[in-house]
Amino acid sequence: MPTPPSAPSRSDLAARIAAAVAGVAREGYAVVPDFLPPEEVTGLRGDCLALWEAGRFAPAGIGRGGQRQRNGAIRGDAVLWLDEAPQSAPLQRYATALEALRLAINERLMLGVFELEAHFAVYPAGTGYRRHLDRFRDSDLRTLTCVLYLNEAWQPEDGGQLRLYLDGAADAPYLDVIPAAGTLACFLSADFPHEVLPARRERLALTGWLRRRG
């Protein structure tokens, strides 16, 4: 009788974390396919969709504090912050993986990041997020952006790519990342303007930031 496939070991995750850290150290960004195993991504996708269908999400805004505003022409997603979501087993394992990434980033790059803030994001078909930086003008706490995609069978023609501008204010060169299930994209929050190209189908992600202490 064939031996059933086993779940990925801690060493598998360690190798993917090492790849992410090496990319950030070398280029300032990294794209790691299959960062989490399919069953973990399926669990996170299920959590996201259940909470979306339950009406727990709110339209995303731009800016913060008194400057926060809603502008669908700039940003079309809806979000649910993880500290407002039930802490399911998949979410706890996601947090464990990001904690391991945090420790590895600090050890290799000494970025001094100590906490994770994160939310689910759902982009309805036809929406995107225009070019922006993840770090607020009046705060340098967000240090490393980490986006885990939850989209099954995503194809390039579905749109919704993360476009990462690699030379600051310049329009080129850029890198387009297909938001395929299990892919982790991470980059230095202050250094890389980026946008989400309009998606032709519903697009799901877990977006997080490793942050310095305030």
Single-letter amino acid, residue 143 = T
List the chain pLDDT tens, one digit each, 214 residues: 333 333 445 669 999 999 999 999 999 999 999 999 999 999 999 999 999 999 999 999 765 555 566 666 789 999 999 999 999 999 999 999 999 999 999 999 999 999 999 999 999 999 999 999 998 776 889 999 999 999 999 999 999 999 999 998 889 999 999 999 999 999 999 999 999 999 999 999 999 999 998 7
Two structure tokens written together for 86:
């039930």
- pTM of structure: 0.91
Tell me which residue has tokens 């189908």. 201
Domains of the chain listed by start with CATH number: 10-61+73-211 (2.60.120.620)
Q: What is the pLDDT of residue 88?
A: 97
Torsion-angle region of 153 (φ positive above 0: left; ψ -120 to 50: alpha; else: beta): left
For 211, the 3-state DSSP assignment is strand
Note whether 79 and 119 are within 8 A (CB): yes
| Gap between the Cα atoms of 200 and 58, Å rounded | 21
Q: What is the DSSP letter of 28?
A: S
Single-letter amino acid, residue 194 = H
Q: What is the pLDDT of residue 138?
A: 65
Two structure tokens written together for 149:
């995609």
